[in-house]
Amino acid sequence: MITTGQIIRCKAAVAWEAGKPLVMEEVEVAPPQKHEVRIKILFTSLCHTDVYFWEAKGQTPRFPRIFGHEAGGIVESVGEGVTDLQPGDHVLPVFTGECGDCRHCHSEESNMCDLLRINTERGVMIHDGESRFSINGKPIHHFVGTSTFSEYTVVHSGQVAKINPDAPLDKVCIVSCGLSTGLGATLNVAKPKKGQSVAIFGLGAVGLAAAEGARIAGASRVIGVDLNPKRFDEAKKFGVTEFVNPKDHDKPVQQVIAEMTDGGVDRSVECTGSVQAMIQAFECVHDGWGVAVLVGVPSKDDAFKSHPMNFLNERTLKGTFFGNYKPKTDIPGIVEMYMNKELELEKFITHTVPFSEINKAFDYMLKGESIRCIITMGA
């Protein structure tokens, strides 16, 4: 391609300050270096994680920065040492990676790559500690190694999943973060058997993906737990059959669920990050075989306690990272689930905006009006 090895000038939505609207700028995107690929982003979507770090809540602010990590695009060029990707490949960049060499990548039980595990503090590429983005010579920070709010971006090849070129990128782009996190928490970690009951704590995008996993697994009852009653009607589309609002009860939610289910649900998935919800999710599963899975990210100083008898009575508490999916190995398979009509993605997509109006996507999420907003880069 004519751009191979050349600097590309393109549009990017740059966050100059915490909490301030993104500004459309012309940026320079350097060629990919060793083990990197440069991708033309066609569609990206907004995840709550982007908003959290844009607001600079609870972590070191790093600006100016190009956010974005749920996206789909086409490889424009590859750097030295990249053998599994080539220009023209349809790909999804992912916020975490799979180097293929570390103990985690060699383990069937883990997806937490030593080299490419998510790093929200790093604003540069790991090969040389430099940014591939700049404006008039001034470096612009990367975000979780993806920075998809740019028409072109550079990503480590271990964070790039090659997918079926027939898959519509404006739909499957959402697979690269929240959808897979929730879906895998249910299918890979909670593993409900057909006919079992599942409680989902938090009915945002990740919780709805967890409910979708329960639907796919054939759960007989899917109980959604959320403080916002407006979410229940939407949740029905994802297989949620019953709804519990903790504010409607004068007893602990775990007790309410135990009474509803003759002793507790078979599985629960917590998707809020609330310590209280984590306790409730663990203590609402049935003794003997109940499994609770924690997905939500707590604040750094949080801690919770539960009586040891809950463990001795054979309840199991697990955690998960990115739904236990290995990005390069497993994400193409999720795309195939969609292509085979086993997984529904359209119902997660509530809004679409052109790239020039990307700040509308932030408005929709901040107002709680969207599940996923697709941002069309060419518009």
pLDDT digits (tens, 9 = 90+) for 47-88: 999 999 999 876 778 999 999 999 999 999 999 999 999 999
Q: What is the DSSP letter of 173?
A: G
284 is catalytic: no
Mean pLDDT of the chain: 96
Show the tokens assigned to 161: 């999943």
Q: Which domains does the chain have, with CATH numbers?
A: 8-174+345-376 (3.90.180.10), 181-321 (3.40.50.720)
Which one of the listed residues 25, 90, 104, 105 is annotated catalytic? 105
pTM to 2 decimal places:
0.95
**CB neighbours (10 Å) of residue 166?**
8
Name beta bridge partners: 316.
291
Show the tokens assigned to 147: 């920075």
Give the separation between CA 124 and CA 33, rounded to whole angstroms: 12
CA proximity to 297, closest of 375, 185, 372 = 185
Query: Average pLDDT of 11-30?
Result: 97
221 is catalytic: no
249 is catalytic: no
270 is catalytic: no
Residues 254, 260, 262, CA angle at the centre, nearest 5°?
95
Q: How does residue 2 score in pLDDT terms, banded at 50, 70 and 90?
A: confident
Q: How does residue 318 score in pLDDT terms, banded at 50, 70 and 90?
A: very high
Question: Would you state the pLDDT for residue 378?
Answer: 82
Question: Would you state the pLDDT for residue 379?
Answer: 61
62 is catalytic: no
CA proximity to 173, closest of 41, 359, 310 = 41
Query: Average pLDDT of 249-261?
Result: 97
271 is catalytic: no
In this structure, which amino acid lies at residue 359?
N
Question: Is the confidence at residue 299, as pLDDT, over 90?
Answer: no
Tell me the pLDDT tens digit for each residue of 118-132: 999 999 999 999 999
Tell me the pLDDT tens digit for each residue of 193-220: 999 999 999 999 999 999 999 999 999 9
Question: Would you state the pLDDT for residue 57?
Answer: 77
Question: Would you state the pLDDT for residue 260?
Answer: 97
Query: Average pLDDT of 221-234?
Result: 95
Question: Would you state the pLDDT for residue 360?
Answer: 98
| C-alpha dihedral (226, 18, 299, 224), degrees to nearest 10 | 10
Name beta bridge partners: 140.
133
Question: Would you state the pLDDT for residue 1?
Answer: 63
Overall size of the chain counted in residues:
379
117 is catalytic: yes
Query: Average pLDDT of 327-338?
Result: 98
Q: How far is CA 17 from CA 64, 131, 220, in A?
A: 7, 18, 47
Which one of the listed residues 76, 99, 231, 373 is annotated catalytic? 99
